[in-house]
C-alpha cells in the first residue's frame, strides 16, 4: 500500500507538527547554519540593521498575537517598549552614577521586564473586556501618552527629561561554560558587540516565535481566533472572554517589554520624548505586521527584516542621483537645493506607499505572497 | 670559508647599523615630528582625510541639518582650495542622512565608522547621547552640533559654542541691567533636555544675580500651551525666559497676544527663526517684546576676522546661501575639527588614538571671533567654553532678523556657571 504524503493531515498529531515536511526540516537546518555563519557574511553596518530587525521582530510577534490572532487592535506598543527600555537602564546600571538602580545581568532584567510587562498588560486587558474596535484603539492610544508623562516625571526610574544610559552586561557563566554576548566566539571567531546583540536578539526571535506558535496552534490559539472572528459566538460556545482576551494582552505586553529591553540596549541611551517613544513607534510596529502579514508568526519576522533593511537597501543600491527612466523625473538627488528626495526621504515614502499597497492589494502581507508562491510550486504544473 | 662568510655578514650588519644611526640622527636634527607623514589609517589614504557627517537631510529637522552641513562643506571647500590640512591633505565629507531618528543615525554610524578619521558633525541631542557610548568604545572623536552642556567634559567629543546655560545667564544679566531690576522674572521651557539646560542656567544665575524666579512652567513640544501661558499671565510676570524651538515660539507668542499678555521675552538662540520678524500676526510682538541671546557677530560684519573669512568663502563656494545662523555654526564646527586635524598631522598620527591625543594638545580652539574661544586643556575636565553671548533685538530688515545691541557680553553670572562632569 502506498504511503500517504507527508503533507496530508490524518490526525491531530499531524496537525501539530512544526516541521511536517522534509523541505521544512531542510529549511530549518539551513536557517540554523545561516544564523551561525552570518557574522562571516556581513559587516558591522548590516549586523546593526539585523540586530534592530531582530528586536522589532520580537515585538511584532507579540503584537501579532494580540492584533492578528485575537483581533484586539493596539497602539500601545510604545508604552511597553519604553517600560522595557527603562528597566534596562535602571537594572542594567545606567543610573548607578546618579546613585540609583542596580547593575544586574541582562538575563535577570529581561525576566523582570517579562513580569512587569505582563502585569501592566493585565491591567490594560481589563478594559478590553468591555471595548472593541476603535474604542480599544483609543484606550491603547491614551496609554502611550500616559506612559510618556510617567516616564518624564518618574525621574528615579527613567532619569526624567535627561533620560537614561543603557549599558549592557550580558555574560553567562555556568562554571564549566561561559559566554559574553558582547564579544561572543562563534565557530572560533571572536565577534563584536553588534554581532553579539544580533545573536542575542535573533536567539530570542526563535524563542518568541516558538512560544507564540505553540499558543496559536493549540486549543488556546483556536479560542483566541474564535474571539477575533466573533467574540459573542465564542462566548456562547464556552470560550472565556476574560481568560483569553486578558491572556493575550498579558503575553503580548510581556513580549513587548522584553523587546523593549533589547531596544534600549540597541540604542544605548533613551530619553522619554515624543520622537523616541511616541505614537510613531507604535505605528511602526503596526506597519511591520501589516507589511509582513497579520495573523502569521513568520509574517512578523519577514516584515521586521523588510522594513528594517529597506533604508539600507536603498542606500546601497539606488544611485546618489537617480532620475525616473524614460520620464526623467528626478527621484533621488544629492543636491539639497534641487528637486527630488534624499535617499532617507525616499525610504520613508516607499515605506508609506508599502503600507497603503499592502492594505489595499495584499492584506495578508509578505506572508500571503510567500504562501501563494508555495502553493504555486506545490500544485505545479497545474494552476489549481 | 665559514669565517669569511661570518665576517661578510658582520660587515653588512655594521654598514646597516651605521646607516640607520646616521639617518636617525639626521631625522632628529631636522625635528622629525614636524616632517612626519601620518601613516595610512582608516579614513586617511595618504592624500585625503575622510570625515563623517550624521545629520538630518530629510524630514522636519533638515531645516537645521542642511544649512549646518552646507557650512561644514563651504569651510572644507575653501580649505581644500588652499591645499587642505597642513597644506597637503584634502578633506572629504561622508554625509549620512539620519532623518533625525536614532535608529537610522546608529546604522549610519556603523556604516561609516571604519571609513572616517573622525565625525565632523553629529546633530541631535538624543542621537549624540546614543552614539557617544559607541564613540567611547571605538575610541573615535566627533563634533556634536548642539549646545548641550553635557558635552563639555566628554573627551570623545569636540564641542563648540557657549552652552544654553550661558545664554540664559547673560540674557537675564542684560535684562536686569537694562530696567529689569526688581521685576518679576518667570520661565517657560520645553519639557526635555534642552529646556532643562535653560532652567539650570536660570537657577544658577539667580543665585549669583540674587533674584527669585517667580514662576516656572514646562510644556511638551508641539502641544497646546494655553494653560502654561495662562499661568504666567496670572503670575503677572514682567519677563519670561523662553527656552523653546521656533515652532513652539510662534504658538506661545500667539497665545500671549490672545491673552493681551506682553512680558519681555528673553529667548535662547534656538527660539528664533529668520522670518519671524516679518510675521503678519506676531511680527510686531517680536519686535517690541523680545530679544534673543546668540553667539558671535552680526551676519556680514566683516570687521570681525572670522565673519569676514566665512562671508568670503560663502560668496565663493555657496553664493546662493542666505544668511543663516546654522550655516555659521556649521562653518565654525569644521573650523574646530580642522584645528584638531592640524594638530594630529603635526603629530604625524591621524589614527583614532592620534585624534584623541590631538584633542588634548590643541589648547584653545579659536574662531577669529565667529564664535568665542573654547579652552580645551590637556584633559576634558579642564575644558572651559566661552562665557560670552550676543544680545540681539528683533528688527525687520536685518539679515537674520535681529540687530545686535550688546556683542560679547560675558556676565559675572555666566562666568560662574558650572557644568556637570
pLDDT band of B28, cuts 50, 70, 90:
very low
CB contact at 8 A, A144 and A74:
no
User: In terms of CA atoms, which chain B residue is nearest residue A97?
Assistant: B421
Q: Does B148 touch chain A (CB under 8 A)?
A: no
pLDDT band of B89, cuts 50, 70, 90:
very high
**Percent of all residues in chain A with a pLDDT value above 70, rounded to a whole number:** 95
Mutate to test the interface with B, among A51, A148, A262, A268 (most CBs of B within 10 A): A268
**CATH number for region B164-294+391-415:** 3.40.50.2300
Residue A334: what pLDDT?
65
Q: Which of B97, B100, B111 sits opposite A45 (nearest CB)?
A: B111
Fold agreement (B48-162+300-386, B164-294+391-415)? yes
Render pLDDT for B56-69 as a digit per residue (tens, 0 to 9): 887 767 888 999 99
Window B:89-108, CB contacts with A under 8 Å: 97-104, 106-107
Tell me which chain A residues have a C-beta less than 8 angstroms from the C-beta of B58. 341-342, 344-345, 348
Contact residues, chain A to chain B, C-beta under 8 Å? 44-45, 47-49, 52, 152, 160-163, 165, 167, 193-194, 266-271, 273-276, 311-312, 315, 336-337, 341-345, 348
pLDDT band of B23, cuts 50, 70, 90:
very low
What is the number of residues in chain A?
Answer: 384
Average pLDDT, chain B: 88
φ, ψ (nearest 5 deg) of residue B186: -120, 175
Residues 6+ apart with CB under 8 A from B173: B205, B209, B409, B411, B412, B413, B414
Tell me which chain A residues have a C-beta less than 8 angstroms from the C-beta of B192. 161, 271, 273
Window B:44-73, CB contacts with A under 8 Å: 57-59, 62, 66, 69-70
Q: Which of B59, B126, B222 sits opposite A271 (nearest CB)?
A: B126
Give the containing element (helix H, strand E) for A171. strand A171-173
pLDDT band of A186, cuts 50, 70, 90:
confident
Query: Alpha-carbon distance A21 to A28, whole Å?
Result: 11
**Percent of all residues in chain A with a pLDDT value above 90, rounded to a whole number:** 31
Q: Which of B70, B133, B221 sits opposite A268 (nearest CB)?
A: B133
Average pLDDT, chain A: 85
Q: Which of A45, A271, A342 sits opposite B110 (nearest CB)?
A: A45
> Quick one: average pLDDT of A264-292?
88
Residue B26: what pLDDT?
40
Query: Alpha-carbon distance A113 to A99, whole Å?
Result: 21
Per-residue pLDDT for B20 more than 60?
no
Per-residue pLDDT for A68 more than 70?
yes
Per-residue DSSP letter, B85? B
Residue A337: what pLDDT?
61
Residue A329: what pLDDT?
78
Per domain, the residue ranges of chain A are 42-277
Vertex A45 angle, CA A43 and A46, to 5°: 70
Query: Alpha-carbon distance B121 to B108, whole Å?
Result: 13
When mean pLDDT is compared across A122-131, A171-180, A241-250, B341-350, the lowest value belongs to A171-180
Tell me whether residues A269 and B126 touch, CB distance under 8 A. yes
Please, what's the b/e burial string for B52-68 (b: 16 or more CB within 10 A of its CB; e: otherwise)? bbbbbbbbebbebbbbb
Tell me whether residues A271 and B192 touch, CB distance under 8 A. yes
Which of the two residues, A8 and A352, has the higher pLDDT score? Answer: A352
Which of the two residues, A10 and B19, has the higher pLDDT score? Answer: A10
CATH architecture of B48-162+300-386: 3-Layer(aba) Sandwich (3.40)
Render pLDDT for B253-264 as a digit per residue (tens, 0 to 9): 999 999 999 999
CB contact at 8 A, A169 and A92:
yes
Q: Say what the pTM is.
A: 0.78
Residue B17: what pLDDT?
44
Residue A377: what pLDDT?
78
Tell me whether residues B104 and A311 touch, CB distance under 8 A. yes
pLDDT band of B32, cuts 50, 70, 90:
very low
CB contact at 8 A, B257 and B285:
yes
Q: Does B403 touch chain A (CB under 8 A)?
A: no
Q: Does B257 touch chain A (CB under 8 A)?
A: no
**Percent of all residues in chain B with a pLDDT value above 70, rounded to a whole number:** 91
> Quick one: average pLDDT of A86-103?
90
> Quick one: average pLDDT of B357-383?
91
Query: Alpha-carbon distance A52 to B103, whole Å?
Result: 8
Per domain, the residue ranges of chain B are 48-162+300-386, 164-294+391-415
User: In terms of CA atoms, which chain A residue is nearest residue B421?
Assistant: A97
Q: How many residue pairs bridge chain A and chain B with CB atoms within 8 Å of each other?
A: 97
Q: Which of A52, A274, A341 sits opposite B103 (nearest CB)?
A: A52
User: In terms of CA atoms, which chain A residue is nearest residue B195?
Assistant: A161
Render pLDDT for A99-119 as a digit per residue (tens, 0 to 9): 898 988 888 999 999 999 999
Within B63-170, strands assigned E span 90-97, 118-122, 142-144
Tell me whether residues B97 and A345 touch, CB distance under 8 A. yes
Render pLDDT for A294-318 as a digit per residue (tens, 0 to 9): 989 989 999 999 888 887 788 778 8
Per-residue pLDDT for A336 more than 70?
no
Render pLDDT for B94-145 as a digit per residue (tens, 0 to 9): 999 888 888 889 989 998 999 999 999 999 888 999 999 899 988 999 999 9
Amino acid at each position: 500500500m502506498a504511503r500517504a504524503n507527508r503533507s496530508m493531515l490524518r490526525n491531530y498529531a499531524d496537525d501539530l507538527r512544526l516541521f511536517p515536511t522534509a523541505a521544512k526540516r531542510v529549511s530549518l537546518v539551513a536557517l540554523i547554519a545561516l544564523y551561525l555563519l552570518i557574522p562571516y557574511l556581513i559587516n558591522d553596518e548590516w549586523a546593526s540593521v539585523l540586530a534592530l530587525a531582530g528586536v522589532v521582530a520580537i515585538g511584532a510577534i507579540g503584537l501579532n498575537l494580540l492584533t492578528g490572532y485575537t483581533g484586539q487592535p493596539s497602539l500601545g506598543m510604545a508604552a511597553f517598549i519604553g517600560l522595557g527600555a527603562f528597566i534596562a537602564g535602571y537594572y542594567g546600571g545606567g543610573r548607578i552614577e546618579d546613585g540609583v538602580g542596580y547593575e544586574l545581568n541582562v538575563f535577570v532584567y529581561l525576566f523582570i521586564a517579562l513580569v512587569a510587562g505582563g502585569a501592566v498588560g493585565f491591567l490594560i486587558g481589563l478594559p478590553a473586556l468591555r471595548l472593541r474596535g476603535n474604542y480599544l484603539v483609543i484606550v491603547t492610544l491614551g496609554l502611550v501618552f500616559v506612559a510618556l508623562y510617567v516616564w518624564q516625571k518618574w525621574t528615579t526610574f527613567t532619569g526624567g527629561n535627561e533620560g537614561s544610559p543603557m549599558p549592557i552586561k550580558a555574560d553567562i557563566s555556568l562554571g564549566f561554560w561561559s559566554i559574553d554576548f558582547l564579544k561572543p566566539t562563534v565557530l572560533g571567531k571572536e565577534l563584536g558587540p553588534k554581532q553579539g546583540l544580533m545573536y542575542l536578539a535573533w536567539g530570542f526571535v526563535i524563542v518568541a516565535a516558538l512560544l507564540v506558535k505553540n499558543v496559536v496552534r493549540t486549543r488556546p490559539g483556536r479560542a483566541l481566533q474564535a474571539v477575533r472572528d466573533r467574540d459573542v459566538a465564542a462566548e456562547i460556545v464556552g470560550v472565556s472572554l476574560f481568560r483569553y482576551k486578558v491572556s493575550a494582552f498579558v503575553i503580548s505586553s510581556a513580549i513587548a517589554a522584553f523587546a523593549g529591553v533589547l531596544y534600549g540596549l540597541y540604542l544605548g541611551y533613551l530619553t522619554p520624548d515624543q520622537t523616541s517613544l511616541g505614537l510613531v513607534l507604535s505605528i511602526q510596529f503596526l506597519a511591520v505586521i501589516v507589511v509582513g502579514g497579520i495573523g502569521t508568526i513568520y509574517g512578523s519576522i519577514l516584515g521586521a527584516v523588510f522594513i528594517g533593511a529597506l533604508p539600507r537597501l536603498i542606500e546601497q543600491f539606488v544611485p546618489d542621483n537617480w532620475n525616473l527612466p524614460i520620464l526623467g523625473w528626478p527621484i533621488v538627488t544629492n543636491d539639497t537645493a534641487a528637486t527630488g528626495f534624499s535617499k532617507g526621504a525616499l525610504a520613508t515614502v516607499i515605506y508609506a506607499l508599502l503600507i497603503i499597497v499592502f492594505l489595499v492589494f495584499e492584506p495578508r502581507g509578505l506572508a500571503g505572497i510567500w504562501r501563494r508562491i508555495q502553493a504555486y510550486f506545490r500544485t505545479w504544473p497545474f494552476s489549481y | 670559508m665559514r669565517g669569511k662568510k661570518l665576517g661578510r655578514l658582520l660587515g653588512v650588519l655594521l654598514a646597516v647599523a651605521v646607516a640607520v644611526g646616521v639617518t636617525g640622527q639626521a631625522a632628529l636634527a631636522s625635528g622629525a615630528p614636524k616632517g612626519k607623514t601620518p601613516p595610512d589609517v582608516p579614513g586617511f589614504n595618504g592624500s585625503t582625510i575622510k570625515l563623517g557627517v550624521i545629520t538630518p537631510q530629510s524630514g522636519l529637522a533638515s531645516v537645521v541639518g542642511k544649512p549646518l552641513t552646507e557650512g561644514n562643506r563651504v569651510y572644507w571647500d575653501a580649505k581644500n582650495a588652499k591645499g587642505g590640512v597642513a597644506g597637503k591633505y584634502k578633506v572629504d565629507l561622508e554625509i549620512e542622512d539620519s532623518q533625525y531618528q536614532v535608529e537610522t543615525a546608529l546604522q549610519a554610524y556603523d556604516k561609516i565608522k571604519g571609513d572616517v578619521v573622525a565625525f565632523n558633525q553629529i546633530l541631535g541631542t538624543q542621537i549624540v547621547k546614543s552614539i557617544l557610548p559607541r564613540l567611547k568604545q571605538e575610541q573615535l572623536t566627533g563634533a556634536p552640533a548642539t549646545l548641550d552642556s553635557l558635552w563639555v567634559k566628554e573627551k570623545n567629543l569636540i564641542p563648540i559654542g557657549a552652552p544654553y546655560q550661558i545664554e540664559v545667564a547673560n540674557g537675564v544679566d542684560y535684562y536686569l541691567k537694562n530696567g529689569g531690576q526688581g521685576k518679576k522674572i518667570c520661565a517657560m521651557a520645553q519639557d526635555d533636555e534642552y529646556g532643562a539646560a535653560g532652567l539650570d542656567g536660570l537657577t544658577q544665575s539667580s543665585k549669583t544675580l540674587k533674584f527669585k524666579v517667580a514662576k516656572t512652567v514646562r510644556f511638551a513640544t508641539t502641544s497646546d500651551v494655553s494653560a502654561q501661558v495662562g499661568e504666567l499671565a496670572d503670575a503677572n510676570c514682567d519677563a519670561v525666559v523662553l527656552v523653546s524651538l521656533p515652532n513652539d515660539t510662534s504658538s506661545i507668542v500667539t497665545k500671549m497676544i490672545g491673552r493681551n499678555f506682553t512680558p519681555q521675552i528673553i529667548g535662547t538662540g534656538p527660539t528664533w527663526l529668520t522670518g519671524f520678524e516679518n510675521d503678519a500676526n506676531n511680527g510686531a510682538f517680536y519686535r517690541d517684546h523680545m530679544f534673543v541671546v546668540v553667539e558671535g557677530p552680526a551676519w556680514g560684519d566683516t570687521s570681525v576676522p572670522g565673519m569676514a573669512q566665512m562671508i568670503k568663502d560663502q560668496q565663493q563656494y555657496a553664493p546662493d546661501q542666505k544668511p543663516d545662523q546654522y550655516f555659521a555654526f556649521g562653518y565654525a564646527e569644521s573650523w574646530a575639527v580642522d584645528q584638531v586635524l592640524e594638530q594630529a598631522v603635526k603629530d604625524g598620527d591621524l589614527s583614532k588614538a592620534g585624534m584623541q591625543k590631538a584633542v588634548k594638545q590643541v589648547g584653545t580652539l579659536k574662531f577669529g571671533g565667529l564664535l568665542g574661544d573654547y579652552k580645551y586643556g590637556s584633559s576634558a575636565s579642564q575644558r572651559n567654553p566661552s562665557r560670552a553671548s550676543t544680545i540681539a533685538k528683533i528688527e525687520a530688515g536685518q539679515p537674520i532678523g535681529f540687530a545686535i545691541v550688546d556683542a560679547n557680553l560675558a556676565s559675572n553670572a555666566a562666568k560662574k556657571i558650572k557644568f556637570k562632569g
